């Protein structure tokens, strides 16, 4: 992935810890990795962890006066070869499906012309909910790639579909998208 810029967007889901490994794998592949965390994502993993792994500053705030000196959200959107959202929460997918742009990550999603891969992860009932399924369909219609979650034991104690795909599988998908 030499000379490729990957913007990794992290939503507020328990599987955010797996994204740390994904970032490490992307760096190993020599990608330039820029991590954007939602406010909820920071409740699950620290910006310091991701900054250390990605070897780049972390982007969190749309209204950050220093990051916005060069209109940071547009710069990131423009320089991305691919945007990967992992974990893509139900909330984040609902926002993206409707074109909302009320934080840094959703602004980047609207501004970028790069390929976007959503890697959802949530409780099985949240995944199966008609609203989530309608949002997934809408995202596909909008041209986004969706990597459907794995089935198995979930962090919430349930069994079923909702596990974030393994970081190695996500890397493979990113490589296949070019």
Is residue 2 within 8 Å of 30, Cβ to Cβ? yes
For 55, the token pair is 């070897």
Q: Which of 20, 119, 156, 165 is flagged as catalytic? A: 156
**107-146 mask for ligand FMN (x: CB under 6 A)?**
--------------xx---x--------------------
Nearer to ligand FMN, 53 or 86 (CB): 86
Nearer to ligand FMN, 80 or 154 (CB): 154
CA–CA separation, 22 and 172 (whole Å): 11
> Taking CB under 6 A as the rule, does residue 91 contact ligand FMN?
yes
For 61, the token pair is 């705030």
Please enumerate in sequence order all residues whose Cβ is within 8 A of that of 72, keeping only pairs 6 or more positions apart, or say none: 59, 64, 104
Options 6, 9, 13, 149; binder of ligand FMN; rule CB under 6 A: 13
CA–CA separation, 120 and 90 (whole Å): 8
* Minimum distance, C-beta of residue 13 to ligand FMN, in the bound complex (Å): 3
| DSSP conformational letter for 59 | B
Q: Which of 47, 43, 66 lies closest to 56 in space, CA to CA?
A: 47
165 catalytic, yes or no?
no
Nearer to ligand FMN, 4 or 138 (CB): 138
* Minimum distance, C-beta of residue 148 to ligand FMN, in the bound complex (Å): 14
Burial of 129 (0-12, 13-18, 19+ CB in 10 A): middle
Q: Which stretch binds ligand FMN (CB under 6 A): 19-27, 38-46, 52-60, 110-118?
A: 38-46
For 30, the token pair is 């020599």
Q: Any idea which residues carry the catalytic annotation?
A: 156
Binding residues (CB under 6 A) for ligand FMN: these are 11-15, 38, 40-41, 87, 89-92, 121-122, 126
């Amino acid at each position: 992935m030499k000379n490729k810029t990957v913007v990794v967007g992290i939503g507020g889901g328990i599987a955010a810890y797996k994204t740390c490994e994904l970032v490490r794998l992307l760096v190993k592949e020599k990608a330039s990795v820029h991590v954007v965390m939602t406010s909820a994502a920071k409740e699950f993993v620290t910006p310091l962890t991701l900054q250390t792994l990605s070897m780049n500053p972390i982007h969190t705030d749309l209204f950050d006066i220093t990051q916005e000196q060069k209109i940071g959200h547009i710069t990131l959107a423009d320089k991305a070869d691919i945007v990967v959202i992992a974990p893509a929460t139900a909330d984040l997918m609902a926002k993206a499906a409707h074109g909302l742009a009320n934080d840094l990550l959703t602004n980047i999603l609207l501004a970028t012309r790069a390929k976007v891969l959503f890697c959802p992860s949530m409780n099985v009932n949240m995944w199966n909910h008609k609203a989530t399924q309608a949002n997934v369909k809408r995202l596909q219609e909008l041209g986004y790639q969706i990597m459907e979650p794995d089935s198995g034991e979930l962090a919430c104690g349930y069994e079923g579909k909702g596990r974030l795909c393994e970081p190695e599988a996500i890397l493979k998908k990113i490589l296949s998208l070019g």
